[in-house]
């Protein structure tokens, strides 16, 4: 219900925004988005070609359907998603929206299978607040991928386990900073073994493919004694297995973790000092995201996806005719999604709630392992 409402809401806003966009004299569409024009077009003409685009889509992402009925249904969903991508393009002109591997899923299916955080926007009130850091000497651009602290992009498959990838990503970075070694850590351990509950919200417990929270997962990891290597406890993408944690094979340990305030300078300072940060975001624009800096005029701040903040930068926006600062985000939907598995979202106004649930973790250094 809520989702349907928000889609209708988004659509009516799209009508309003397109008016505002032209009234403000922005270049609407511009020269970017060749892919968009090819794939979804700027008008309904291309929707006539939907069968052709669907064929390309199936081939590109290896999609097969069990029956003619299913095929027919998925084609109708695909068509609806082409329309949705066009609406997203209007609402988010500095990014490119179009066909993704999720184009045959309804928004509800997408949320259920590929996200995994369910949390209303709430300012951090947890006990462990990150200390306030100096912000004068922050670099203007920073990317932990350039400093060897980020493992290759992983793929959560159709399991709402994003929270476990956000958690391992942050601990992989922290562990790299404290030991000098980049070790890929096990999400499956969290999926199978972590049932930690959020002390602030009754009944909100980590639940495998049904979602979880990064802070609860740090708490579990602290109590359990650490996480195993990816290779020793590989990802299966299901939560039907039993816990196979072996505490003699711990590869990284949590020393402590804390929440970072909404202040973007503090977020940047914590990122540079402590390594990649676990963050939550509203992922509605990510279903159709192909590339560029996502900066929707309007985006819900309801957090439904856990990701990893690895850096920030600035790029020139031809649409707004000015520098557009952005966050660089590692996602867990494989390398074929977005910009080689990454997402860029603009900084400056908590777009899609990206600044609202940010955690930093520190790892125990090798000497004390």
Ligand X SMILES: *[C@@H]1O[C@H](CO)[C@@H](O)[C@H](O)[C@H]1NC(C)=O
Q: Residues interacting with ligand X, by CB under 6 A?
A: 255-256, 258, 362
Rg (CA), the chain: 21
Active-site residue among 162, 193, 295, 352? Answer: 162
Q: Rounded to whole angstroms, how far apart are CA atoms 334 and 325?
A: 25
Least Cβ distance, residue 368 to ligand X (angstroms): 8
Contact status, residue 367 vs residue 276, Cβ threshold 8 Å: no
247 is catalytic: no
Least Cβ distance, residue 168 to ligand X (angstroms): 18
Q: Rounded to whole angstroms, how far apart are CA atoms 188 and 81?
A: 31
Number of CB atoms found within 10 A of residue 120's CB: 10
Helices (H), 157-235: 162-179, 187-193, 214-224
346 is catalytic: no
DSSP helix/strand/coil, 280: strand
Q: Which is nearer to ligand X, 53 or 253 (CB)?
A: 253
Number of CB atoms found within 10 A of residue 145's CB: 14
Least Cβ distance, residue 289 to ligand X (angstroms): 35
Sign of CA dihedral 81, 85, 90, 92: positive
Burial class (CB in 10 A: 0-12, 13-18, 19+), 59: exposed
Active-site residue among 175, 209, 331, 346? Answer: 331
Least Cβ distance, residue 198 to ligand X (angstroms): 20
Q: What are phi and psi of 188, to 5 degrees?
A: -65, -30
Q: Which is nearer to ligand X, 12 or 366 (CB)?
A: 366
Contact status, residue 300 vs residue 353, Cβ threshold 8 Å: yes
Q: Which is nearer to ligand X, 179 or 184 (CB)?
A: 179
Q: Which is nearer to ligand X, 96 or 277 (CB)?
A: 277
Q: Which is nearer to ligand X, 16 or 366 (CB)?
A: 366
Active-site residue among 88, 305, 346, 352? Answer: 305
Least Cβ distance, residue 362 to ligand X (angstroms): 4
Least Cβ distance, residue 176 to ligand X (angstroms): 13
28 is catalytic: no
Least Cβ distance, residue 103 to ligand X (angstroms): 43
Q: Which is nearer to ligand X, 80 or 255 (CB)?
A: 255
Nearest alpha-carbon partner for 176 in 133, 130, 145, 155 = 145
174-178's contacts with Cβ under 8 Å and 24+ in sequence apart are 174/252, 174/274, 174/275, 174/360, 174/361, 174/362, 174/363, 175/251, 175/252, 175/363, 176/148, 176/149, 176/275, 177/149, 177/274, 177/275, 177/363, 178/255, 178/362, 178/363, 178/364, 178/365, 178/366
Q: Which is nearer to ligand X, 115 or 364 (CB)?
A: 364
Question: Which active-site residues does the annotation give?
Answer: 162, 305, 331
């Amino acid at each position: 219900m809520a989702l349907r409402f928000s889609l209708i809401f988004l659509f009516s806003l799209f009508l309003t925004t397109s008016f505002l966009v032209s009234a403000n004299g922005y270049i609407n569409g511009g020269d970017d988005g060749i892919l968009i024009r090819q794939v979804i077009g700027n008008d309904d003409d291309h929707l006539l070609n939907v069968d052709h685009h669907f064929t390309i889509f199936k081939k590109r992402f290896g999609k097969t359907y069990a029956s003619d009925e299913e095929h027919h249904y998925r084609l109708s969903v695909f068509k609806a998603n082409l329309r949705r991508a066009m609406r997203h393009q209007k609402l988010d002109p500095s990014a490119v929206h179009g066909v993704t591997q999720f184009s045959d899923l309804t928004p509800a299916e997408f949320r259920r299978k590929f996200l995994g955080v369910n949390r209303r926007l709430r300012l951090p009130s947890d006990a462990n607040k990150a200390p306030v850091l100096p912000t004068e000497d922050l670099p203007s651009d920073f990317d932990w991928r350039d400093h060897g602290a980020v493992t290759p992009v992983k793929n959560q498959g159709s399991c709402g386990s994003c929270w476990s990838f956000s958690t391992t990503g942050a601990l992989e970075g922290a562990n790299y900073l404290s030991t000098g070694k980049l070790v890929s850590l096990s999400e499956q351990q969290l999926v199978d073994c972590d049932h930690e509950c959020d002390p602030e919200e009754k009944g909100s417990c980590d639940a495998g493919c049904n979602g979880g929270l990064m802070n609860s997962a740090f708490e579990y990891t602290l109590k359990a004694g650490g996480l195993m290597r990816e290779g020793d406890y590989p990802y299966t993408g299901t939560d039907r297995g039993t816990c196979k944690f072996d505490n003699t094979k711990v590869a990284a340990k949590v020393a402590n973790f804390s929440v970072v305030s909404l202040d973007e300078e503090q977020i940047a300072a914590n990122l540079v000092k402590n390594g990649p940060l676990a963050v939550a975001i509203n992922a509605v624009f990510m279903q159709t995201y192909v590339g560029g800096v996502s900066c929707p005029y309007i985006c819900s701040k309801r957090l439904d996806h856990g990701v990893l903040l690895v850096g920030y930068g600035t790029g020139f926006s031809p649409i707004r005719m000015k520098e557009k600062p952005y966050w660089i985000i590692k996602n867990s939907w494989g390398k074929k999604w977005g910009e080689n598995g990454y997402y860029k979202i603009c900084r400056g106004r908590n777009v899609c709630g990206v600044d609202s649930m940010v955690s930093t973790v520190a790892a125990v250094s090798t000497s004390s392992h």
